[in-house]
Amino acid sequence: MNALRFENKTVVVTGAGSGMGCSASLRLASEGAKVILLGRQAGALEEVSDKIKRMGGVSYVLPCDIKKENQVKETFIKVSSISRHVDALFANAGSLGAFKPLAEADISDFSEPLETNLKGTFLTIQHCLPLINKGAILINASWTTGSVMPGTGIYAATKSALLALMRTLAVECGPRGVRVNAISPGVILTPMAASALPAETVNTLASHALLRRNGVPDDIAGTVAWLLSEDAGYVTGQEIVVDGGFTIGGMR
C-alpha cells in the first residue's frame, strides 16, 4: 500500500467528530490527505483536528448541520475557499433515530432519520459535486439494508434509499470521472451505537458475527480509504459490506 495515496488531495468528511468519521479522517490524514472536517459539534471536530495536526497532518474544521440547506451551502463556499478542488467526499453523517417496531412507530419517528440520513446526505453531495472534477464519493449506508434487525425499520428504510441514490449518482456522474460507492458497515460500536444498544444485545450481536466480535470504527477506516483512493479507480456503483460476516451468519 502506498502510504501517501492522498498526498496533495483534499477530502471532505461529514460526521467527522466521532465514530467512523473520526477514524476515517485520521486514516486519510495519515495517508497525506488534507481533511476538511464537517459535523455539528465544533468541540469534537477540534479534538480530531488536533490529533491530525499532532501526527503532522493538515485539517480544517467547519461546523455544519447537514439537515439545514443554508448551512450546507455556506459550508461548501468555505470549502471552496480552502481548496478550489475536492478529490473525495465521505458522506458519513447519520442518525439512528428511535428503535421501535414499525407497528408502534409514529410518522414523526421518520423525521430525524429522513432529514439527516437521506436529505442531509443528498444536500452534502449536491453542494460538493461542483468542486469534484474526477474523484470519488462514498456514502455510509448500513448492513440493515440487506438484513433485518427488529426495531430498525425506519433507519434501514432511509439507508436503503441511500443505495438507490448512490447507484443513480454513479450512472449520472461516471462520464465526468466521478466514482460513487457505498459502504455498509456491520455492527460497529461507535459512541452512537453503543449508547443505543443494551449490553446484552451487544454481546448477542457479537456472537452472530462469523469473526465472533462486533466491529470498531477503525475496522471501517481502511475500506473507506481504499474506496476513495485511486486503488479503487475502476470501482463505482457498488455497495461494499464490511461486517465481519454478520449478514452471512444471520440472526441465529
Place of cell 480509504: 225
Q: Are 125 and 88 in contact (CB under 8 A)?
A: no
**Closest-CA residue to 149 (of 115, 118, 187):** 187
The torsion angle over the Cα atoms of residues 184, 222, 57 and 141, rounded to 10 degrees, is: 0
Q: Are 42 and 70 in contact (CB under 8 A)?
A: no
Q: Are 125 and 169 in contact (CB under 8 A)?
A: yes
3-state SS of 14-61 is: CCCCCHHHHHHHHHHHHCCCEEEEEECCHHHHHHHHHHHHHCCCEEEE
What is the total residue count of the chain? Answer: 252
Catalytic residue among 155, 162, 188, 208: 155
Instruction: Please report which helix (H) or strand (E) contains residue 183, including its range.
Output: strand 178-185
**Is 60 tagged catalytic?**
no
Burial class (CB in 10 A: 0-12, 13-18, 19+), 68: middle
Distant-in-sequence, close-in-space partners of 141: CB < 8 Å, separation ≥ 6 = 159, 160, 162, 163, 166, 182, 183, 184, 239
**Mind telling me the catalytic residues?**
155
